[in-house]
Amino acid sequence: MYSIGVDLGGTKILTGVLDEQGTLQHTLELPTMAADGPDAVIRRMRDTIDRMLDRVGRANVIGIGIGAPGPLNPHTGMVLGPPNLPGWDQIPLRDELHEVYGLPVYLENDANAAAVAEHRFGAGQGSLQMVYITVSTGIGGGVVIDGQVRQGAAGGFAEIGHMIVDPDGARCNCGNRGCLEAVASGTAIARMASEAFGRALTAEQVAELAMRGDNKAQQVLDTAFYYLGIGLVNIVNLYDPDLIVIGGGVARIGQPLFAALLQALGSNYFRRSYGMDVPIVPAQLGAKAGVIGAAALPWLAREQA
């Protein structure tokens, strides 16, 4: 038997078939073309789902999981108006797809889906209290406790990227000031570097410059790492995890990032009396985590039934 997962992003739709062992098969990627609005995007999503159903046979598919950008409500299956999907205000995506296919359909926040994947098949296997953080153009998070990804009352659990770490800091896309995402994401690194260098630089270029010993680039990274460290200390004090998994493009900076974060956690005075260090490890599934986690949702639901 198989499940189908769809990772719906602002720039691309990645759809795949997953078997019960977590092996991803027959992936297919299409551009989202988000500017065309929800109807056109859902049509393209359905194209990819149809192709997967043709390949493995509809009778062999137990369900469909969708990972989509927040805000969304996994309880009602509604997409609530993500900034990178224009026009998606109150779209009942889960019910629309269920009506078309007659299969169980599950909707989950994309970072939560990636957290599910890392917990089940990647760096978080065996963890009882795992926090997953993705640091890329934005910052997202998911918390998996006793094998279940937490969703919260409205579906907004562990929106780590919108934890305020500097009340006077840069304005976030969400409207608040000094969210972690606004001061420590890849986008924030690029913005701070452009200000420091007077020309446009990507986060990747900043990391390269820093590696070659450029002081200005290093300062930009240090600022981002400083805020990530504050975020991580707050996360540890709130969720008391046994493992923190970090994914996303910025995590590819690797050792310098992880060293800075370990140092920040080490200087968390409050935790000292607990005498237990929290390991921080890189995610293992890379850019496929979202589609794998989305496709894992029908399997999880089946186990819990």
Q: Does 172 bind Zn ion (CB under 5 A)?
A: yes
Cα 270 to Cα 155: distance, rounded to the nearest angstrom:
29
Omega of the bond leading into 71 within 30 degrees of 0 (cis): yes
Cα 276 to Cα 279: distance, rounded to the nearest angstrom:
9
- Asked if 303 and 3 touch (Cβ cutoff 8 Å), the reply is no
3-state secondary structure at position 16: strand
3-state secondary structure at position 95: helix
CB of 171 to Zn ion, least distance (A): 9
* Residue closer to Zn ion, measured from CB, 77 or 178: 178
Query: What is the 3-state composition of the chain as percent helix, strand, coil, each rounded to the nearest 5?
Result: 45, 25, 30
* Residue closer to Zn ion, measured from CB, 162 or 191: 162
Q: Does 179 bind Zn ion (CB under 5 A)?
A: yes
Given the rule CB under 5 A, which of 69-77, 147-155, 178-186, 283-291 is the region that contacts Zn ion?
Answer: 178-186
Contacts of 87 (CB under 8 A, 6+ apart): 37, 38
* Residue closer to Zn ion, measured from CB, 48 or 134: 134
Given the rule CB under 5 A, which of 19-27, 84-92, 114-122, 162-170 is the region that contacts Zn ion?
Answer: 162-170
Contacts of 12 (CB under 8 A, 6+ apart): 29, 30, 31, 32
Q: Does 174 bind Zn ion (CB under 5 A)?
A: yes
Compute the chain's Rg from CA coordinates: 19
Q: Does 205 bind Zn ion (CB under 5 A)?
A: no
CB of 162 to Zn ion, least distance (A): 4
CB of 287 to Zn ion, least distance (A): 23
Residue 175 structure tokens? 């409207």
Given the rule CB under 5 A, which of 82-90, 134-142, 172-180, 205-213 is the region that contacts Zn ion?
Answer: 172-180
Site map 56..85 versus Zn ion, x via CB under 5 A = ------------------------------
| Residues contacting Zn ion: total by CB under 5 A | 5
* Residue closer to Zn ion, measured from CB, 62 or 174: 174
- Asked if 68 and 10 touch (Cβ cutoff 8 Å), the reply is no
Given the rule CB under 5 A, which of 9-17, 49-57, 70-78, 154-162 is the region that contacts Zn ion?
Answer: 154-162
CB of 151 to Zn ion, least distance (A): 19
Task: Report the relative pairing of strands 12-19 and 24-31 from DSSP bridges.
Answer: antiparallel
Residue 148's CB: how many other CB atoms inside 10 A? 12
CB of 199 to Zn ion, least distance (A): 27
* Residue closer to Zn ion, measured from CB, 119 or 162: 162
CB of 179 to Zn ion, least distance (A): 3
- Asked if 73 and 89 touch (Cβ cutoff 8 Å), the reply is no
Residue 43's CB: how many other CB atoms inside 10 A? 10
Please identify which residue in 120, 162, 191, 288 interacts with Zn ion, judged by CB under 5 A. Answer: 162
* Residue closer to Zn ion, measured from CB, 97 or 179: 179
Per CB under 5 A, residues contacting Zn ion are 162, 172, 174, 176, 179
